[in-house]
Amino acid sequence: MMEWMRRNRFVLSGNLHGGTVVASYPFDDSKSHKSSGIYSKSADDEVFKYLAKAYASNHPIMKTGTPNCPGEEKETFKDGITNGAQWYDVEGGMQDYNYLWANCFEVTFELSCCKYPPASQLEQEWLNNRESLLTFIEKVHIGIKGFVRDSVTGAALENATIAVAGIAHNITTGQFGDYYRLLVPGTYNITASATGYLPVTTEIIEVKEENATVLDFSLHPAVTVLTSRPTKEAPITISNSLDNTAITTAVNRTTSARQVIQPDDFRHHHFPDMGIFLRKFATEYPNITRLYSVGKSVEQRELYAMEISDNPGIHEAGEPEFKYIANMHGNEVVGRELLLNLIEYLCKNYGTNPEVTDLIQKTRIHIMPSMNPDGYEKSIEGDVSGVFGRNNSNNYDLNRNFPDQFVQIAEPLQPETIAVMNWLKTYPFVLSANLHGGSLVVNYPYDDNRLGIATYSISPDDAVFQQLALAYAKENVEMFQGHPCDNLYPDEYFPHGITNGANWYNVPGGMQDWNYLNTNCFEVTIELGCVKYPKAEELPKYWEKNRQSLLQFIKQVHQGVRGFVLDATDGRGILNATIDIASVDHYVSTYKAGDYWRLLAPGTYKITASARGYNSETKMVKVEENNAAQVNFTLSRKGPKVEEGSTLHVNM
């Protein structure tokens, strides 16, 4: 069923049950999981009540609200409808899954007191439900509908987001840029956004009772390139091993033994200084850098990102993409300065230092020194554990602002959050770290849980996340010891300097979980020190303690398996093919050239590649340390067949 829902963009659904007579709508369970009596309200509660009443009001028994089922004669439902959890708590229900993980609104209909009535009663059941069934189908046409297109080319924008102001639930567009958003009659402000495009908001859209209001959007490209670099895709070249000979040759042998050049710009860079710094290195090292912006902050500061690659501006098929983000909390500044140090270090040592050259030639690296430049400008040097400048200019914590799997985030998505989400959908990132301050530890997903308490919240890739976290922590001696801030938190201890996020403390709306659940990217959060805004003279020691950790973590992008999924007919790469690991309930998908990267801990795995319209293929692979196994798939196209739910017509 989940696969069926994933393949087809359903808008509305009814799930037919028996045992009483009522229409039950989301949510089916609550945080407390109390057996009954808890109204678990969804963001679209008014829509669901409208849909439920549409069915119930046309059913002669349901609309009375008194099913009179044997043994439950006193059970009543106002207007013949009920919130699922208020009736009784159902964990893992299908209607909630439809709403939370697809574009589909589903209501559960209990059709009769008798679950398996005699055949003689079926005609009466049809008469009772006929008008309700037809009316419910008609409701797929309420609300708004339309297309989202590129304003320059007119091309359809698939997976664009449609957001309704005041309703914390979004839907996405289909293959042709089409969308359908169910809404009750009223007036709304609607925003369309897409990866790499500026969002557009249309205000005061009137939704009427009958046909859906048509609302089309044209979005303008958003990513601003600040240095002139190519942005095309590199041609596909498949090989079973990276060309280490070429990498070695690229290093000037006469200078490879030269001492590594360390950064020398150790100071706090306010926004104008940071811009000058980034432009300086983009200008001085044009062959390996590209400076761009992913959007703007509330106060219209650029959200700078520096790409470092041997072919900047180009995704080289088969080469993984990596990112570092810092300064999400404006007063946590160590990560911001470390990433500027890292940019300087990589640029100055490329071509002379084998380790740096190897990284840049094998990896497309993106570095965002500051996600919250507005908060930074309000922060105060010397702040140890304060919160002044932590939030953005609208006073929202950006690390509580991402859509969450367990709770509805009520706060509006912030410009910085939207920009980063779009950024993550623009590039095929494989691995990421989010640099913070206030402790000394690497924490990994999940960051929260259904209960909202501090307890271990395990992800399907827990072993991989522990491996990634350790890769950073073990290179930082103080972090690895696990006793971070004796003066501030004397009882705090993290074995080997790592922790599960939710086991430390519960963080709904965190960025690292959103990365993992909504993209191919694995992200951890790194706390770099107990002092959030240290004095400038302390910065060199932070670089010395973290330099090797920063480099070692980038190298982890080359663990697990990698390869291509190709069409057997023409050899072309298959976009959005799915890569599944038999023992791990988390998949990744292929990029434009059919290339994929799947981080895994050492072991033996059964891996399956599948794509719509193709026969799937399964292979066994052994994953070893310090190397990514190359596993390519060639999928054959499926012949004509009868899809599920269709009718086969045979001419006699």
Active site residue ranges: 110, 527
| Beta strands across the sheet bearing 81-83 | 12-17, 105-112, 20-25, 81-83
d(CA 643, CA 613): 11
Cα separation, 174 vs 187, whole angstroms: 24
CB 604 within 8 A of CB 610: no
Amino acid found at 143: G
CA pair distance 156, 278, nearest whole angstrom: 34
Rounded CA-CA distance 127/20 in Å is 17
Block residue for tokens 């087809």:
8
Distance, CA of 394 to CA of 414 (rounded, Å)? 8
* 8 A C-beta contact, residue 274 and residue 370: yes
Cα 370-374-376 angle, rounded to 5 deg: 65
Q: Which amino acid is at 233?
A: E
Strand order in the sheet with 603-610: 584-589, 578-581, 603-610, 617-623
At residue 306, the 3 state secondary structure works out as strand
Nearest Cα to 280, choosing from 263, 301, 295? 263
Spatial CB neighbours of 55, under 8 Å, sequence gap ≥ 6: 14, 23, 62, 107, 109, 132, 133, 135, 136
- Supply the DSSP symbol for 573: B
- Helix (DSSP H) and strand (DSSP E) numbers for the chain: 16, 29
The strands making up 429-436's β-sheet, listed across from edge to edge, are 224-225, 289-296, 302-308, 364-368, 321-326, 429-436, 522-529, 439-444, 498-500
Q: Are 494 and 485 in contact (CB under 8 A)?
A: no
CB 168, CB 409: distance < 8 Å: yes
Distance of alpha carbon 23 from alpha carbon 162, whole angstroms: 27
| Burial tier of 62 (Cβ tally within 10 Å: 0-12, 13-18, 19+) | buried
Q: Return the structure tokens found at 150.
A: 């590129």
Residue 455: HSE in the Cβ half-sphere, 13 Å Cα cutoff: 5
